[in-house]
Structure 1
Amino acid sequence: MRADRLVSLVLLLRRHERLSAETLARELEVSTRTVLRDIEALSTAGVPVYAERGRHGGFSLLPGFRTELTGLNHDEALALLVAGSRRGAQAFGLGSALSSAMRKVLDALPESYRDTATGSARRLLIDPDTDLLARPSIPRDASDTTMVEVRRAVLDGHRLRIHYAAAEQQARWRTVDPIGLVTVRGQGYLLAMRAGVDRTYRLSRILAAEELPEPAQRPELVDLDRIWQERGARFRAGGDQLTVLVALDPARRAELLDTALGVRAEETGADGRVRMELTFHDPRHAEWALWQHAETVEVLAPQGLRDSLRDRAAAILTRYRAPADDSEPPGVLEHPA
């Protein structure tokens, strides 16, 4: 806690040039006596803090004193700002920049802290590539070369050509006006406009990109959070989606919502189960998602989806009703000596 307070004290003096002990105490929410002790500690550690007497006096740092890390380039600084986690940096093509920046941060630490930080870091793992069932948890990313072009166009305000492969379609080139980049659960998206119409592109589906010299036609000020919420609302309200009525144990609600697009209505029935109207992309998406919860979720409507799930369950029942064929296919159970 004291180390954090000392850093905050230095930053306050950097920003305001001169502050009284009373003002520092108020900003740091400590007593004036504590501030005086902290000032003495900083001076002992070599931080050039000096006092100015008089009515308008206070504490100041020696002019020119700086506390920034040196050697950070633009991408490294950007990686530290947007990283949040390893996936945040990787989704925007800043993984290598983050690694480089963190090496510089580590090198800037005092030697005693450096050893402690390195040892501690080995005991923390964030967003591994697979979950406990060895399922890949990290989606495929766009190449670093592609992301350099995308990121540069977004930050420089230039138009962008992308070779984009939409789902189940041939990849084709299109020119867009980039607005910003968003990452959600490790999946990255490019928010853009194309011919004046809002468009959202998954970064993993951008096969190649080229920053163009002409300026992008986009607003000067941007609120990405608001734009993302608005696009999400329009997406969930789309007319081509499938609405499904289900009943389930309330304890399974959160798990089910991870696979659906959204919830249109929800109520608790007389039997204690939750009845929900959920939206899915299409029947294929609904069948896949609800099959993951087949033992705990009942589809009430539409009837076509109930029939599809019933037929799938019947096929599995038929397959496993008879004893397994124990004949040994050639080579399947053979192991090298």
Structure 2
Amino acid sequence: MRADRLVSLVLLLRQHGRLSASTLARELEVSTRTVLRDIEALSAAGVPVYAERGRHGGFALLPGFQTELTGLNHDEALALLVVGSRRGAQAFGLGAALASAIRKVVDALPEGHRARAAGAAQRLLVDPETDLLSRRLVAEEMPEAVVAEVRRAVFAGRRLRIHYAAVGQAAGWRTVDPIGLVTAGGHVYLLATRSGEDRTYRLSRVLAAEELAEPAERPELVDLDRAWRERGTRFRTGGETVTVLARVDPARREELARTALALRVRENDEGGEDGEDGRDGEDGWPLLEATFQDARHAEWALWQLATGAEALGPGWLREALRDRAAAVAARYGASP
């Protein structure tokens, strides 16, 4: 680990020129004392690093010192620079490693090439922290030790013992065979098997993890994308799901589609008294059948659409939405 840190220190000085000990410590996520020891080690190894005193002082390399690496063209370098902004590395606990790798890539480029790639990367933004409504996309908090232990077991192909807190249940220990890690919708999931049955665990609910010595029982090759789709299909079609019939403003249909597990337009021959052609009323809003995870999910989704939708059934959902709307109206009916 120290060797990697020394390389990162040299690359930071190469790319930024003179830097203070406190700045280097912040970039490398170590103490200032550690930085000073590393500087001494580099000097002893013959790296021409020197100190400049004063208010704007710091450490720098002698002009002309560089490491020569080749093999990357402009587009390849640009792709790596852009991927460095993605939150995936942070989700898997690899943020520091990715930052170190990007520094090495940048340092490998010729001077003119480096400037072009960095300038082009500034014109691209991937996965900003907020959306257009300034809503911050909050990542789940996960202990670094837990993420690192799970990641090691996944890569080493060993069994994993996790202390897991499922929703509505007391936390308990279970031993699983890890298959892979998936990040989706701001969450990180561990795909695994337990006693031969597929299991999916949200990493933020893993309170502790321990990599075991015994090898995991899992296929040597895996298609994580396919495995994720298959588990998603089973989740949507199994369990106590709720199906809702609703009239929906066409302008809000995509919003509902992003929330529901499944969504389909009511077929013509199913129109019945609500509308023989699959539409209801003079406004021409389509009749849609939306499937939700449970009753709470259905009520939340329809409430978000406000007057942009009307739930026609089941009856309990109409009553729940009516009661909620009445409570809100009562709250704001009188002056504060």
Aligned to 2:258: 258
Q: Establish whether residue 195 from structure 1 lines up as the match of residue 195 from structure 2.
A: yes
Structure 1 range deviating more: 144-153 or 300-309: 144-153
1:176-222 CA-partner distances (Å, limit 9, x unpaired):
00111112233211110011111001122222211111110112221
Aligned to 1:154: 154
Q: Establish whether residue 173 from structure 1 lines up as the match of residue 173 from structure 2.
A: yes
1:179–1:85 distance in 2 versus 1, CA, 3 Å: farther
Cα distance between partner residues in 2 of 1:124 and 1:190: 30
How many Å apart are 1:123 and its aligned residue?
Answer: 4.8
Count the aligned residue pairs: 250
Cα distance between partner residues in 2 of 1:189 and 1:218: 17
1:290-310 CA-partner distances (Å, limit 9, x unpaired):
111112011111110111111
Aligned to 2:102: 102
Aligned to 1:248: 248
Cα distance between partner residues in 2 of 1:265 and 1:224: 31
Cα distance between partner residues in 2 of 1:85 and 1:237: 36
1:68–1:213 distance in 2 versus 1, CA, 3 Å: farther
SS of residue in 2 equivalent to 1:251? helix
TM-score, normalisation: structure 1: 0.67
Q: Establish whether residue 293 from structure 1 lines up as the match of residue 305 from structure 2.
A: yes
Whether the 8 Å CA contact 1:161–1:210 is kept in 2: the answer is yes
SS of residue in 2 equivalent to 1:149? helix
Whether the 8 Å CA contact 1:263–1:277 is kept in 2: the answer is yes
TM-score, normalisation: structure 2: 0.67
Within 5 Å, give how 1:1-337 maps onto structure 2.
67-68=70-71, 86-263=86-263, 266-267=266-267, 268-269=278-279, 271=281, 272-323=284-335, 325=336
Whether the 8 Å CA contact 2:130–2:137 is kept in 1: the answer is yes
The letter for the 2-side match of 1:301 is G
Aligned to 1:333: none
Cα distance between partner residues in 2 of 1:163 and 1:136: 30
The letter for the 1-side match of 2:245 is L
How many Å apart are 1:144 and its aligned residue?
Answer: 2.3
- Gaps of at least 5 residues in structure 1 are 1-65, 70-79, 326-337
- Gaps of at least 5 residues in structure 2 are 1-68, 73-79, 268-277
Whether the 8 Å CA contact 1:188–1:204 is kept in 2: the answer is yes
1:175–1:292 distance in 2 versus 1, CA, 3 Å: same
How many Å apart are 1:232 and its aligned residue?
Answer: 0.9
1:102–1:200 distance in 2 versus 1, CA, 3 Å: same
The letter for the 1-side match of 2:279 is G
1:122-170 CA-partner distances (Å, limit 9, x unpaired):
4544323333444331331422221221112112111011121212333
Cα distance between partner residues in 1 of 2:188 and 2:179: 14
The letter for the 1-side match of 2:322 is R
1:271-293 CA-partner distances (Å, limit 9, x unpaired):
43222221222211211121111
Cα distance between partner residues in 1 of 2:84 and 2:240: 35
1:88–1:285 distance in 2 versus 1, CA, 3 Å: same
Quote the RMSD (CA, aligned, Å).
2.6
1:251–1:189 distance in 2 versus 1, CA, 3 Å: same
1:266–1:191 distance in 2 versus 1, CA, 3 Å: farther
1:96–1:164 distance in 2 versus 1, CA, 3 Å: same
1:68–1:171 distance in 2 versus 1, CA, 3 Å: farther
